[in-house]
Amino acid sequence: MNPAPQTPTIWTIKALLAWTTDFLTAKRVEGAKREAEVLLAHVLGGTRMDLFVRFDEQPTDAERARFKELIQRRVAGWPVAYLVGSREFYLLSFDVDPAVLIPRPDTETLVLEAIKRLKPLTEPAVLDVGTGSGCIAVSLAHQKKDARVTATDVSPDALAVAKRNAGKHGVADRVTFLHGDLFAPLAGRGHFDLIASNPPYIAQSEFAALAPDVRDHEPRLALDGGPDGLAFYRRIAAGAGPFLKPGGSLLLEVGFTQDAAVRALLAERPELDVGATLKDAGGHLRVVTAKRR
């Protein structure tokens, strides 16, 4: 058993971070040092880097009380992103709350590939299916200044977060948000040069083994991929073709064990030509690609 961290006599920023890092480590919270820094920076209204030039400052009693409350909620399983209300993703800060999945670095692999494919195109039409926080749609609009992006989601609460993020990053005039299930709200919306999606892909049998902060706090609607985790890929494979321009790209984020299964689903569609699967920064197969014949 880890001993309780020693209580300092003066609660400077440095002392708070040291004590809290030890405390979170003892509670087996991953990335304890970084999480302590993120939460304290949030309470003090600055950045993590600000903390290191303010080591000798003493937060007020109110600030310490707020920090303690956040630490208690983190130990109880709440994700840090929900506690501070934001998460960094592909050079931008995205507002998040329990209505949306927290953006992951793995999804940046999809964004990078999409930007690469959109770069030579003029005023490309882009579709983000199941946009959630809007991290894909907003990132693409932010990077490709002449792109016209459409984003769909079945959750009105998620769309409210996504719209807020589009406004926050100055792309609200180029991103159209539509409420509905997958392709359902797209009647009469034309065809797209690129369709991207990070759909729910956790198999129902896998939920019990998920980390508690994911299982108990992130929206099941954004995680549940049906009995085998492939329910949405079947529907996207069947429905994407009519919305893609000839030569248009389909990019799908997948769980790292799902590559072969998703490729097989796409290969069944005569209108699609399955391409390479791209690896994420951790070396896992992460983004399945295809093109409209």
pLDDT digits (tens, 9 = 90+) for 185-216: 998 889 999 999 999 999 999 999 999 899 99
Cα four-point dihedral sign 26, 36, 39, 80: negative
pLDDT digits 0-9 by tens, 140-178:
999 999 999 999 999 999 999 999 999 999 999 999 999
Residue 93 — φ and ψ, nearest 5°?
A: -105, 125
From the list 86, 83, 82, the residue with the least C-alpha distance to 95 is: 86
Q: Distance between CA atoms of 239 and 269, rounded to whole angstroms? A: 10
Is 152 marked within a binding site?
no
Given a cut of 60, is residue 2 above it in pLDDT?
no
Is 242 marked within a binding site?
no
CB 196 within 8 A of CB 114: yes
From the list 247, 160, 231, 163, the residue with the least C-alpha distance to 197 is: 231
pLDDT of the residue at 1: 52
pLDDT digits 0-9 by tens, 246-263:
999 999 999 999 999 999
Q: Distance between CA atoms of 165 and 114, rounded to whole angstroms? A: 19
Is 86 marked within a binding site?
no
The mean pLDDT of 236-251, rounded to a whole number, is 98
Is 134 marked within a binding site?
yes
Is 199 marked within a binding site?
yes
Is 133 marked within a binding site?
yes
Strands 272-279 and 125-129, bridge-based pairing = unpaired
Is 131 marked within a binding site?
yes
Is 130 marked within a binding site?
yes
Architecture of domain 89-292: 3-Layer(aba) Sandwich (3.40)
The mean pLDDT of 226-243, rounded to a whole number, is 98
